[in-house]
Amino acid sequence: MNKKIAVKVDDLTVAYNYKPVLWDIDLEIPEGVLMAIVGPNGAGKSTLIKSILGILKPIAGSISIYGKPYIKQRKLVAYVPQKGSVDWDFPTTALDVVLMGTYGSLGWIKRPRQKEKKAALEALEKVGMLSLKNRQISQLSGGQQQRIFLARALVQNASIYFMDEPFQGVDATTEIAIINILKELRKAGKTVIVVHHDLQTVPEYFDWVTFLNVKKIATGPVKDIFNDENLTKTYGINYKVSIQE
Amino acid sequence: MDLQEYISLVFSDYTLRTITFGTAILGAVTGMLGSFAVLRKESLLGDAISHAALPGIAIAFLITGIKDGNVLLIGALISGLIGTFWIRGIVAKTHLKSDTALGLILSLFFGFGMLLLTFIQKQPDANQAGLDKYLFGQAATLVESDVWMMTISTGVCLFILMLFWKEFKLLLFDKDYTKTLGFNTQLIDILITTFIVLAIVLGLQTVGVVLMSAMLLAPAAAARQWTNSLATMVFLAALFGALSGVFGTAISASQNNLSTGPIIVLVASVFVMFSFVFSPSRGLLFKQLRFIKNRRDLELHKTLAFMFHIAENHKNISHPHAIKILNNFQGYTRKTLQKLVKKNYVTLHGNMWSLTDEGFKTASNLYNQQSRHE
């Protein structure tokens, strides 16, 4: 493979208390893939991306984004947290949340101006939410909230996107809209890493996959490694998934 | 004393003026910062901080031997901060949840503070009396320098708030995301917390340890009911807080022997109750009204849909049917039928009803919408 490595994880170990959540993870994510991270509950999927993003401090190991630590490359990276991680009753509007995506490039103190606002409106349009831009965020449906989060990441105009279960609790229309945007990002040469739950849709949505269950089970192209053997290793039971040809 | 007389007295009488301005500024700054505490779901933190400040007051007195307000405030500030960061430490480092940590620190510091107060009272020193006024506060002891102190602190607080507005908002909404954007969340956290502690400590002399947390929460809780914008919420909370101070002082000044602190808190609670009931979007009253209206509409729609079903099977949609057949339908009441007639969806001829064209059209739209949702 002659592609550049976008994200490299070496010997990563993370623990909240005593029990490790991630154990000795080595992972290379090539540039330009649309990758799913799959594994059972408590496998450390969210923990893995939070560690890569510097939200959690690992016990051991190192992480690099295009060869440098996260903090130096943060402008290349955008993050879509789990929808449930914030309080949607917070007093703010859809547009305001999307504008938050510009805060990183603005830095301390500087306020968003016309240019940032224009970018935010464009992102809202991309996710089909422009008409709801002034809506209070608690009055949005689950799918709409997820689109807002996606728009906030799109505004960051990054090279690598990390998304924590973007399809959780969204309607079918939103799921299709989101996956289309993700595929567009890949087409534009971006790297997209998604924590994903629905194994049925993995072959249809993604071209790369990482199996995770505290340890890394396997990583590679979906067509080569998305098979019953790896699924059984990851989920512990005799797993059969019917892959649609 | 009528209103005009009172207002002129506020500007002419030194004591009344000092107390009015003092409580107004105090209400504004606690309301402003209280919005942050409420949105961070740290409502109880205020209670813990104010109780944690008590031993600081006592120790400051024991060390310096003077009862100067500002010296005691510094003591309160230090012990309030220690208590707060201790709570944070417990939550971060142990399995204990924040309510347990808050309760622990609150009672530990308060108990220690009370112990020191009784110790001080046993001292053979004429100067010792009056420290216990910090328990329930005594607005009458406010002097001009206290008000200046509050004004300057509020000014600094407002300046920092406006300077880091964007960062504060981001942190309040989504802490993890704030971190990924490269902001030092710990620094923002410490800034917010320190200002909350400062606001509480400033109010101890006036409102007291026991009631102080109400000053932090009540204006913010009331303000949240009226707006969906953070800036407006902070502004309204400051306004409600200031008004609580002004009205509270007025009531206590016009009624002899009523202490100011509790009345300010009661006035703030009136703001809360009024807001909870009468806010147009979130208030209980309008919520209930909307609920009733929706129910009625739904009843109407259900009946209309039922009629549509029957009418659909006939070539002529205006074919009359006996009212009797509606009796088997659950959503039907005579009242809904009358309403449908009033809306011109249905016409009545004796015991027979028939759909109008308009009714048929509305019902078919309704029906399509319902089935699309399923």
Give residue-wise pLDDT tens across range B213-234. 999 999 999 999 999 999 999 9
Chain A closest-CA separation from residue B177 CA (Å): 7
Please give the share of chain A, as a percent, with pLDDT higher than 70.
96
How large is the ipTM? Answer: 0.93
Both B46 and B22 in one domain: the answer is yes
Q: Which residues of A touch B181 (CB under 8 A)?
A: 74, 103-104
CATH number, domain with residue B233: 1.10.3470.10
Both B109 and B39 in one domain: the answer is yes
Chain A closest-CA separation from residue B274 CA (Å): 20
Residues of chain B with pLDDT under 50: 371-374
Q: Is residue B370 part of a domain?
A: no
Residue from B161, B34, B236, B173 nearest A94 by CA: B173
Chain B residues with CB under 8 Å of a chain A CB are: 39, 41, 95, 163-167, 169-170, 172-174, 176-177, 179-183, 224, 227-230, 232-233
Chain B closest-CA separation from residue A230 CA (Å): 32
Q: Which two tokens stand for residue B124?
A: 């053979």
**Helix, coil or strand: residue A188:** coil
* Residue A244 scores a pLDDT above 50: no
A108 to B170: CB separation less than 8 angstroms, yes or no:
no
- Among the partner residues B95, B183, B228, nearest to A91 by beta-carbon distance: B228
> How far does CA B170 lie from the centroid of its chain?
20
CATH number, domain with residue B340: 1.10.10
C-beta pairs of B185-191 under 8 Å, 24+ apart in sequence: B188/B164, B191/B160, B191/B164
- Among the partner residues A74, A77, A108, nearest to B167 by beta-carbon distance: A108
Both B153 and B239 in one domain: the answer is yes
B166 to A54: CB separation less than 8 angstroms, yes or no:
no
Between B297 and A135, the higher pLDDT residue: A135
Q: What is the mean pLDDT of residues A40-54?
A: 94
Q: How far apart are CA B181 and CA B173, in angstroms?
A: 14
- Residue that finishes a domain, picked among B240, B266, B282: B282
CA dihedral B227, B230, B234, B239 (to 10 degrees): -20
- Among the partner residues A81, A100, A104, nearest to B182 by beta-carbon distance: A104
Q: Is residue B126 part of a domain?
A: yes
What b/e sequence results for B198-233 when a residue is b if at least 16 CB atoms lie within 10 Å of its CB, and e otherwise? bbbbbbbbbbbbbbbbbbbbbbbbbbbbbbbebeeb
Chain A closest-CA separation from residue B232 CA (Å): 9
Chain A: residue nearest B39 by CA?
A90
Q: What is the mean pLDDT of residues A36-46?
A: 93
Element holding A134 (H helix, E strand): none
At residue B160, the pLDDT reads 95
**Beta-carbon-side half-sphere exposure of residue B353 (alpha carbons within 13 Å):** 24
Chain B closest-CA separation from residue A224 CA (Å): 33
Does A97 touch chain B if contact means CB atoms closer than 8 Å? yes
Q: Is residue B374 part of a domain?
A: no
Q: Is residue B123 part of a domain?
A: yes
Chain A: residue nearest B165 by CA?
A109
> How far does CA A17 lie from the centroid of its chain?
25
Distances (CA, A) of B334 to B247, B302, B324, B339, B371: 52, 14, 11, 9, 26
Does A55 touch chain B if contact means CB atoms closer than 8 Å? yes
Both B278 and B303 in one domain: the answer is no
Between A33 and B66, the higher pLDDT residue: A33
- Residue that finishes a domain, picked among B258, B282, B306: B282
What residues contact B371, with CB distance under 8 A and at least 6 apart? none
- Among the partner residues B95, B173, B179, nearest to A92 by beta-carbon distance: B173
DSSP state of A198: -
Both B254 and B339 in one domain: the answer is no
Does A148 touch chain B if contact means CB atoms closer than 8 Å? no
Q: Which residues of B touch A93 (CB under 8 A)?
A: 228-229
Q: Are A196 and A167 in contact (CB under 8 A)?
A: yes
**Beta-carbon-side half-sphere exposure of residue B240 (alpha carbons within 13 Å):** 36
At residue B345's C-alpha, the angle toward residues B343 and B347, to 5°, is 100
- Among the partner residues B174, B180, B232, nearest to A74 by beta-carbon distance: B180
At residue B368, the pLDDT reads 63
- Among the partner residues A75, A79, A109, nearest to B177 by beta-carbon distance: A79
Q: How far apart are CA A116 and CA A99, in angstroms?
A: 7
Both B212 and B93 in one domain: the answer is yes
Class of residue B79 by CB neighbours under 10 A (exposed 0-12, middle 13-18, buried 19+): buried
At residue B311, the pLDDT reads 77
**Which residue type sits at B130?**
G
Distances (CA, A) of B140 to B21, B29, B150, B242: 12, 20, 15, 17
Q: Specify the residue for token string 């500024």.
A: B25
pLDDT 10s digits, A68-91? 999 999 999 999 999 999 999 999
Both B293 and B247 in one domain: the answer is no
CB atoms within 10 A of CB A177: 20
Q: How far apart are CA B83 and CA B345, in angstroms?
A: 68
B177 to A74: CB separation less than 8 angstroms, yes or no:
no
At residue B216, the pLDDT reads 93
Q: Which residues of B touch A97 (CB under 8 A)?
A: 173
A71 to B182: CB separation less than 8 angstroms, yes or no:
yes
Both B262 and B146 in one domain: the answer is yes
C-beta pairs of B369-374 under 8 Å, 24+ apart in sequence: B370/B305
Distances (CA, A) of A113 to A94, A162, A186: 17, 26, 29
DSSP state of A111: P
B174 to A79: CB separation less than 8 angstroms, yes or no:
no
At residue B372, the pLDDT reads 44
Mean pLDDT for chain B? 88
- Among the partner residues A54, A109, A111, nearest to B179 by beta-carbon distance: A54
**pTM to 2 decimals?**
0.87
DSSP states along A208-242: EEEEEESEEEEEEEHHHH-SHHHHHHHHSS-----
At residue B373, the pLDDT reads 42
Chain A interface, best mutation among B177, B225, B235, B373, by max A CB count within 10 A: B177
Both B261 and B294 in one domain: the answer is no
At residue B124, the pLDDT reads 75
Q: Which domain holds residue B297?
A: 289-365
Distances (CA, A) of B197 to B32, B145, B232, B264: 13, 20, 23, 20
- Residue that finishes a domain, picked among B231, B265, B282: B282
Q: Which two tokens stand for residue A225?
A: 């490694």
Both B254 and B310 in one domain: the answer is no
Q: What confidence category does residue A245 fall into, taking pLDDT thresholds of 50, 70 and 90?
A: very low
Both B140 and B47 in one domain: the answer is yes
At residue B197, the pLDDT reads 92
- Among the partner residues A71, A91, A106, nearest to B229 by beta-carbon distance: A91
Both B16 and B35 in one domain: the answer is yes
β-strand partners of A162: A79, A193
**Which residue type sits at A110?**
K
Q: How far apart are CA A38 and CA A35, in angstroms?
A: 10
Chain B closest-CA separation from residue A238 CA (Å): 36
Helical H segments across chain A, by residue range: 45-52, 70-73, 94-99, 103-106, 114-126, 142-155, 172-187, 202-205, 222-225, 228-235
- Among the partner residues A91, A100, A107, nearest to B227 by beta-carbon distance: A91
Chain A closest-CA separation from residue B39 CA (Å): 7
Distances (CA, A) of B132 to A108, A128, B67, B120: 44, 61, 12, 10
Question: Number of structural domains, chain B?
Answer: 2
pLDDT 10s digits, B70-120? 888 899 999 999 999 999 899 888 888 888 999 999 999 999 999 999 888
Q: How far apart are CA A35 and CA A28, in angstroms?
A: 11
Q: How far apart are CA B30 and CA B212, in angstroms?
A: 9
Does A71 touch chain B if contact means CB atoms closer than 8 Å? yes
Q: How far apart are CA A92 and CA A196, in angstroms?
A: 28
Q: How far apart are CA B249 and CA B137, in angstroms?
A: 13
Q: Is residue B373 part of a domain?
A: no
Q: Specify the residue for token string 């004393």.
A: B1
A53 to B180: CB separation less than 8 angstroms, yes or no:
yes
Q: Specify the residue for token string 């016309």.
A: A114
